[in-house]
Amino acid sequence: MDYLNSSRKTLLSDYEHNPLLKLVFFCGTGYIMLHLAKIVIFMWQQVPSPESTFYFESKIYVHFALQPFEGMLKHPWTLLTFMFTGLSFFKLFTTLVWLFVFGSVIQQLVGKSEILPLFIVSNVIGGIAFIGLQYYFPLPHPANMFSGADAAVLGFSLGALSVAPKYKIYFSSNFSVPLWLLIVIYLIINILVLFESRNYPYFGLLIAGGLAGVLYMQLANKGLKLGVASNKLLGWGAHKVAAKKKIGDKTFREENAELDAILDKINERGIQSLTKEERALLERYQ
C-alpha cells in the first residue's frame, strides 16, 4: 500500500465518529475517577495528612498501576487498567496530546478500527517490559509503579513512521510538520527525563511499545488487521444472534396462529374434536 502522499485532513476532521477522540476522553475520565476516589476515601477515612500519600498508593493506586512482579501476581488486571489513567495531570495531558496527534496518523493510514487494538497491544507489550526490567533494575517505591499510555504513543508514532516515512501531519490546511520531526521532539523530551531519573524499566516500556507498534503496522500494511478481523467477528456474532431472534419470532408467531386456529375449532366443534397434537399444544399454554 502506498502511503507516500499524506492526507490533508486536519486533526479534528470527522471528530463526531472519531474513536481516537473517544479513547482520549476515556483515559481522561479514568484519571478523574481515580482522583475522585482518592478524595472521597480521604474524606471518609479521615486519613492524617502525613499518611495520605502512602494510603492512596497502597489502598487505591495499587489496583490500577503497573508494579513489580510480586505485586502483579496479586493485581494481574492492572496490566490492562494502567493505560487508562495517570497520576500527574500535566503528564497525562501531554501524553494524551501526543497520543491524539500520532493516533490521527494511524487512523488515516489503516483506518479507525485499528486504533484500540494497537493501543492495547503497544501498552500491554510495554507494560510487560516494564515489569520484567524491574527484576534487573529495581526501582524504589513509588517509582516502581506506573500508569499511563506512553507505550502507545511510541507504538503509534513509530508504527506510522515504519509504513509512511515521508508522512506529514497537517495541523491546518496550510501548516504541516513531518512525522519524523515530531517523533524526534517527543524522544528528546523523554530521553532527557530518562537520563535524569535513570528509570530503565520506563525506557524499556517505551522501546517495547514502539517495536510492538512497528510490528503491528507492518502486519496491517500486509492486510492482517486485527481491528477489521475483530469487527467482522463481532458482526458475525451479532448476525447469528439476530438470525436466531428472527427465527424465534417467526416460530412464536406460527404457534400463536396455530393456537388461534385451535380455539376457533373448539368454539365451532367442541374440545372433543381436537387431535392429540392440538391437545398437546393447548396444554403448553395452560
175 is a domain residue:
yes
Q: What is the C-alpha separation between 110 and 163, in angstroms, rounded? A: 10
User: For residue 10, what pLDDT band results from cuts at 50, 70 and 90?
Assistant: low
Q: At what angle do helices 115-133 and 19-45 cross, to 10 degrees?
A: 50
Flag whether 165 is in a domain: yes
- Indicate whether 207 and 99 sit together in one domain: yes
- With respect to residue 3, please indicate whether it lies within any of the assigned structural domains: no
Pair (153, 198) in one structural domain: yes
Q: 214 with 278, same domain?
A: no
Task: Please report where in the chains the cell 532527557 appears, as a residue.
Answer: 192
162: in domain: yes
Is residue 96 within 8 Å of residue 27, measured between CB atoms? yes
Report if residue 9 sits inside a domain.
no
Q: Under DSSP, is residue 67 helix (H, G, I), strand (E, B) or coil?
A: coil
Q: Which of 4-18, 78-92, 148-162 has the lowest mean pLDDT?
A: 4-18
* Least confident residue range of 24-28, 159-163, 226-230: 226-230
Domain co-membership, 239 together with 119 = no
What was the pLDDT predicted at 223?
A: 80
170 domain-assigned: yes
CATH number, domain of 210, equals 1.20.1540.10
- Are both 127 and 190 inside the same structural domain? yes
Average pLDDT, integer, range 191-218: 87
- pLDDT above 70 covers a percentage of the chain that reads 71
Does a structural domain hold residue 4? no
Same-domain pairing of 153 and 268 = no
Phi-psi category of residue 259: left, alpha or beta, with phi > 0 → left and psi -120 to 50 → alpha: alpha
Q: Across the chain, what does the average pLDDT equal?
A: 79
Query: What is the model's pLDDT at position 238?
Result: 41
Are residues 162 and 130 located together in one domain of the fold?
yes
Instruction: Please check whether residues 33 and 165 belong to one and the same domain.
Output: yes
Mean predicted confidence (pLDDT) in 256-276: 64
150 lies in the same domain as 128: yes
Residue 249 has pLDDT above 70, yes or no: no
If asked whether residues 74 and 183 sit together in one domain, one would say yes
Confidence band for 220, pLDDT divided at 50, 70 and 90 = confident
Model pLDDT, residue 237: 45
Task: Clarify whether residues 247 and 165 are in a common domain.
Answer: no
Asked if 195 and 140 count as a contact pair (C-beta separation under 8 A), the reply is: no
Alpha helices in 111-178 (DSSP H): 115-133, 150-163
Show the domain range for 277: 233-284
Give the residue from 224, 252, 271 where a domain finishes: 224
pLDDT reported for residue 51: 64
Task: Count structural domains, the chain.
Answer: 2
Q: Are residues 118 and 218 in the same domain?
A: yes
Q: Is residue 39 part of a domain?
A: yes
